[in-house]
A and B are shown apart, each in its own frame.
Chain A
Amino acid sequence: MIIPFLVIGIIIACTILISAYRMIFGPGTFNRIAAANVIGTKAIVLLIIVGYIIERPHFVDIALMYAVLSFVGTIIFAKYLERGELCSP
């Protein structure tokens, strides 16, 4: 049963390409950050699906790690854009 995972993986890759359009041409900074957030969260699911395609589902560990890093990156970027500085005294 590899075919359904293959189809879902191709669909997620196409949606990542479509989001990359919004990240490159999107007007303003916030559209680009939103598209980068979308791409980062789709990459988690794509990692899990690739792990099932090559029959090595232990890729889930990497996916969990990447989820934490992506979330922290998005939060830090939003905080920096809101306040103009990272560390406020």
Chain B
Amino acid sequence: MLTVDIVAIGLMAVGAFVMLTGMLNIMKFRDFYIGIAGITFIIGVILAVALGRRGIVDTLAVLFLAAGAFFIITGVIGLLKFPDFYTRLHATGKCDTVGQIFIVVGCMIYSGLSLISVKLFFVAAFYLLAYPSATHAIMKAAYATGLKPWKKGDPRM
């Protein structure tokens, strides 16, 4: 089973490396290569989960949970420190969506292939639809009722 471990870790490492270099625009990759790298990463995760390698699966789950905690803490600092309503929603509307989807995906990887994993997938999909539209609705209501945006030099609102 050691070869399966090596193959899964290799697939995930190659996929993550190509995705990171594509996102940071270090090399001039196209979107096609980023998509292929994402599929490679997902194939590695599914290989490790389906064969029940608890070491790899637990490590991946902890990594995803830590990434989600980082994004959530960043969003809450933005909610606390930014000077305006619009900038506060700009911080939380993105960071919270990404962080909580990361945490749900970590729980999915920890559960393996089961019914709970399918329910968690529905939670993540609903989350991806609902939370940005709720943010948009609040911000549209605030702009329609005449809340002025903050400009540089104004006091904090």
Interface positions of A (Cβ within 8 A of B): 1, 4-5, 7-8, 11-12, 15, 18-19, 21-22, 27-28, 30-31, 33-35, 37-38, 41-42, 44-45, 48-49, 52, 57-58, 60-61, 63-64, 67-68, 71, 74-75, 78-79, 81-82
Contacts and interface: CB of A to CB of B under 8 A. Distances in A.
A37 B62 contact: no
Contacts of A31: 85, 88
| Chain B residues touching A, majority SS | helix
Contacts of B89: 34
Contacts of A61: 119
Contacts of A60: 116, 119-120, 123
Given A37-B134, A42-B72, A75-B137, 6 more contacts: A4-B65, A41-B96, A52-B107, A64-B122, A74-B138, A75-B133
Given A8-B69, A11-B72, A19-B79, A1 B126 contact: no
Contacts of A34: 79, 85, 88-89, 92, 138
Contacts of A49: 103, 107
Contacts of A37: 134-135, 138
Interface stretch (B14-22, B42-50, B142-150): B142-150
28 contacts: A4-B62, A8-B65, A11-B72, A19-B76, A27-B157, A28-B85, A28-B147, A30-B142, A34-B79, A34-B88, A37-B135, A38-B75, A38-B92, A38-B96, A41-B96, A42-B100, A44-B123, A45-B103, A48-B107, A48-B123, A60-B119, A63-B123, A71-B134, A75-B134, A78-B138, A81-B145, A82-B140, A82-B145
A6 to B, nearest CB: 11
Nearest to A47: B123
Interface of B: 58, 61-62, 65, 68-69, 72-73, 75-76, 79-80, 85, 88-89, 92, 96, 100, 103-104, 107, 110-111, 116, 119-120, 122-123, 126-127, 130-131, 133-135, 137-138, 140-142, 144-145, 147, 157
B123 A33 contact: no
Nearest to B58: A1
Given A22-B79, A82-B144, A82-B145, A45 B100 contact: yes
Pick the 9 closest A-B CB pairs, nearest first: A82-B141, A78-B137, A71-B130, A78-B141, A15-B76, A60-B119, A74-B134, A30-B142, A81-B141
